[in-house]
Amino acid sequence: MTNSTPMSAICPSCGCGQVRVFYEAFSAPVNSVLLLSNREQALSFPTGDIRLGFCETCGFIYNTAFDRRLVEYSVRCEETQGFSPFFRAWHERLARRLIDRYSLRGKNIVEIGCGKGEFLALLCDLGENSGIGFDPAYIPERTSPESASRIHFIADLYSERNNTISSDFLCCKMTLEHIADTASFIGMVRSSLRDSPDTYVFFQVPDVLRVLEEQAFWDIYYEHCSYFSVGSLARLFRRAGFDVVDVGREYNNQYATIEARPGNGTRTTLAAEDDLEALNTLVQSFATRVPRRIAEWKKRLEQYRDKGLKTVVWGAGSKGVTFLSSLKVRDAVEYVVDINPHMSGHFMATTGVEIIRPLALREYRPDIVIVMNPVYREEIVAELASLGLTPEVISTRDRVA
């Protein structure tokens, strides 16, 4: 776990050998969005190791110890954020922006990794487009009849077999970070567009620059084998033969986005892509700062517990699972809360903490609420107030005193 770790691996994004392992997290749950119906199953949940490598040439960061066979991605996965009004409003703004910018009206749209299909439904409903969505975790009952009439869902991974499907626009959100062979995947997407020079693509992934800046250890989890900044994303796309039209950081810098079209990758680079030096600096301090942050949080939770204060974590998704499994604090958190009703009654991988609905807090009456994603803080405070509760609300962005 040092900067002196010998370089060995070959970067899956650019193919060079300048990869340095800079951070390790052992025994991470191999899946953090799988619904687990009993505590025993959660406590004995399989784990794997994370050894993050940084490519000095292209800035790509990935788990050099990733074993794809350990990760299940199926209808048992519950990853949607669509129950949050804040998220839904942002999602709709993004869909409208893309519809306007690329004149997506009466067009055919493909989404790779469409999850439960919410974004594709927005693009198709708002622009009267038709769509094809690929996702092995797709659940038909989650799509409204109106959207379903416009969209053909394929409950499978997007692969070479599907890449003759023509589209006017191709999007892929929160999927590329699950793919280990990044260059071959983007190469496959590029080759699917060989006869479609006017098809724009939009990709969105978690932004690793923010994760490094905030030492957000809860954002590094096993299913995410690949980590991008806007710069490393742009370099990957250019190398695959795309012209990069735009890059951006969305949702309070939590997401990195790219808009590109088939070309030869030679278009002038954008100022925002120039982040290799910043990444290099942040990577160097990450390994020493994260253990300190984990120790601070652990101490804080232990203090609450020792004072007899009841602490709950708000957010049962990957952030919450990773936060709790990293801290390994026994008996400090009795419940995790989530507004997604499909999650309640299930248990957090490896720690076995039970997930409950917000309404259950009325009886439990927590003293402290730890908000995993700060963008939902206001929404959560309002929800607590509507339940007649005024606990101390802290978020992962708040520094530990």
Residues of this chain that interact with Zn ion (CB under 5 A) are 11, 13-14, 55, 57-58, 60
Are 222 and 28 within 8 A, CB to CB? yes
Residue 329 token pair:
């604090």
Q: How far is the CB of 174 from Zn ion (least distance, A)?
A: 22
Residue 177 token pair:
């970070």
Q: How far is the CB of 27 from Zn ion (least distance, A)?
A: 28
Q: How far is the CB of 175 from Zn ion (least distance, A)?
A: 20
CA-to-CA distance for 177 and 207, rounded, in angstroms? 10
Neighbours of 287 (CB within 10 A): 18
Identify the CA nearest to 237 among candidates 355, 229, 271. 229
Q: Which is nearer to Zn ion, 215 or 232 (CB)?
A: 232
Q: Which is nearer to Zn ion, 58 or 294 (CB)?
A: 58
Q: How far is the CB of 236 from Zn ion (least distance, A)?
A: 8
Q: Which is nearer to Zn ion, 14 or 258 (CB)?
A: 14
Encode burial over 39-66: b for 16+ CB neighbours within 10 A, e otherwise: eeebeebebbbbbbbbbbbbbbbbbbbb
Q: How far is the CB of 55 from Zn ion (least distance, A)?
A: 3
Q: How far is the CB of 232 from Zn ion (least distance, A)?
A: 8
Identify the CA nearest to 96 among candidates 121, 117, 127, 118. 127
Q: Which is nearer to Zn ion, 16 or 157 (CB)?
A: 16
Distances (CA, A) of 39 to 227, 246, 316, 333, 354: 31, 45, 15, 14, 8
Q: How far is the CB of 182 from Zn ion (least distance, A)?
A: 9
Q: Which is nearer to Zn ion, 11 or 21 (CB)?
A: 11
Q: Which is nearer to Zn ion, 239 or 267 (CB)?
A: 239
Q: How far is the CB of 18 from Zn ion (least distance, A)?
A: 7
Neighbours of 36 (CB within 10 A): 22
Q: How far is the CB of 62 from Zn ion (least distance, A)?
A: 9
CA-to-CA distance for 369 and 366, rounded, in angstroms? 7
Q: Which is nearer to Zn ion, 57 or 130 (CB)?
A: 57
Task: Give the angle 219-287-15 at the CA atoms, nearest 5°.
Answer: 80
Backbone angles phi, psi at 370, to 5 degrees: -100, 115
Q: Which is nearer to Zn ion, 234 or 313 (CB)?
A: 234
Are 111 and 124 within 8 A, CB to CB? no
Sheet containing 226-227: order of strands: 19-29, 47-55, 61-63, 226-227
The amino acid that residue 74 corresponds to is S
Q: Which is nearer to Zn ion, 7 or 155 (CB)?
A: 7
